Amino acid sequence: MAVYHQPGTVITDHSFQVPLDHADPGGEQIEIYAREVVAAGREREPLPWLLFLQGGPGSPSPRPLGRDSWLTRALDDYRVLLLDQRGTGRSSPVTRQTLPLRGDAAAQAEYLARFRADSIVRDCELIRRERLGDDIRWSLLGQSYGGFCTLTYLSFAPEGVREAFVTGGLPGLRSTAEDVYRAAYPRVERKVAEHYARYPGDAATVRAVVRHLREHEVRLPGGGLLTPAAFQSLGMMLGTSTGSHTLHYLLEDAFLPGVDGPSGPVLSDSFLTEAQSRLSLAGNPLFAVLHESIYSQRSVSPRCTGWAAERVRGEFPQFDADKALESDGPVLFTGEMTYPWMFTADPALAPLWEASRLLALREDWPDLYDPEQLAHNEVPVAAAIYHDDMYVDAVGSLTTARSVRSLRTWVTDEYEHDGLRVSGGQVLDRLIRLVRGEL
């Protein structure tokens, strides 16, 4: 168990063994890694624990750099546990390098089906009892998908929770994947319109890039294929506080100035390198593999997701880049969606295609939420809802908030989806004060 110091903090590494399948506790075990962070000088104090559940799915917990970001506020009151959810970070990883070791595609899909929020919550409960004991509850902080996991926790293991804070992550309790994307595309369209209003010249640049990609096969430095659809998916950036500005700087560097190749303008290496860093899921393949399954529940719909984002996109023809080029309309970016083409365009995802296809066809997923339990919830909960969150539907979040007893909301337009990270602890402080009845 390694212990080390950063500015203002003491950090301890922990690892835990948990069952791959919690229905078979004596079967195969996997490793879960977590990082304990406490304010320097308070290591021996009996501080309450705060478990952080990261967004995603498939993202590891943040790697702290001393007392930074929301930790500036959390460490005033808590001993924090940064959990690498199963399959991520230093927990038993799921990547193109490890998944083929499970066997054929069917075996891989069966393995991956155990990496949703229900399994994550059971991991957390085993860790809580091992670290704190049966009688001590901990607090939860769920960011984005971590908020989804928090609602799963309150549904099936509320006895382990003292209080809960959710930032940009109240899921629709009865929403299908189709419902989620049907609500998402109009929000993305609004964000793109806001971006073009802020940077009007970007509309012409985007059209030029898409036209170039239609006429040329463009490979990214790592071998990935930059298609018009892949380029459009850079719109994922538009849901964060600085995303629009960052996208603008990326676009202004798209073409080499004053340089024409044999067939016209040339996309710059710096643009292609930065685009690759934004598009490749080498470090987070579970995001693409599991993304649609996080909305699947048998009591809502026993059917498969069947690549819902791709199917629903057909209802929004304004996102068709070819049609946009044939008219005077803007080329729209897309957002937080996963599409089948990603598994051919991204070399890191290509080996996972067949298992992902089987997951997309899988039916009868277990439920992730218990609306009846949540309606009688006694755990104090405070949730920040960002009024035009591009990634999580604010209308659906408010509906869920009304369905969860003991939940208070803060609806704000001060922050985008990354408010927890960029607010210097102010978002978390507001939620702590809500739970304590100070507001």
Which residue numbers are catalytic?
144, 364, 417
Q: Would you give per-residue pLDDT tens digits along the chain (439 residues)? A: 799 999 999 999 999 999 999 999 999 999 999 999 999 999 999 999 999 999 999 999 999 999 999 999 999 999 999 999 999 999 999 999 999 999 999 999 999 999 999 999 999 999 999 999 999 999 999 999 999 999 999 999 999 999 999 999 999 999 999 999 999 999 999 999 999 999 999 999 999 999 999 999 999 999 999 999 999 999 999 999 999 999 999 999 999 987 676 667 899 999 999 999 999 999 999 999 999 999 999 999 999 999 999 999 999 999 999 999 999 889 999 999 999 999 999 999 999 999 999 999 999 999 999 999 999 999 999 999 999 999 999 999 999 999 999 999 999 999 999 999 999 999 999 999 999 999 8
Place of tokens 């309309």: 329
Greatest alpha-carbon pair distance for the chain in Å reads 72
Nearest to 30 by CA among 84, 82, 80: 84
* Model pTM score: 0.96
Report pLDDT for 262: 65
Residue type, 307: W
Written in H, E and C, the secondary structure of the chain is CCEEEECCEEEEEEEEEEECCCCCCCCCEEEEEEEEEEECCCCCCCCCEEEEECCCCCCCCCCCCCCCCCHHHHHHHCEEEEEECCECCCCCECCCCCHHHHCCHHHHHHHHCCCCHHHHHHHHHHHHHHHHCCCCCEEEEEECHHHHHHHHHHHHCHHHEEEEEEECCCCCCCCCHHHHHHHHHHHHHHHHHHHHHHCCHHHHHHHHHHHHHHHCCCECCCCCECCHHHHHHHHHHHHCCCHHHHHHHHHHCCEEEEEEECCEEEECHHHHHHHHHHHCCCCCHHHHHHCHHHHCCCCCCCCCCCCHHHHHHCCCHHHCHHHHHHCCCCCCCCCCCCCCCHHHHCCCCHHHHHHHHHHHHCCCCCCCCCHHHHHCCCCCEEEEEECCCCCCCHHHHHHHHHHCCCEEEEEECCCCCCHHHHCCCHHHHHHHHHHCCCC
pLDDT at position 257:
86
pLDDT of residue 264: 75
- Asked if the 3-173+369-435 domain carries CATH number 3.40.50.1820, the reply is yes
Distance CA 314, CA 304 (A): 18
The domain ranges of the chain are 3-173+369-435, 177-361
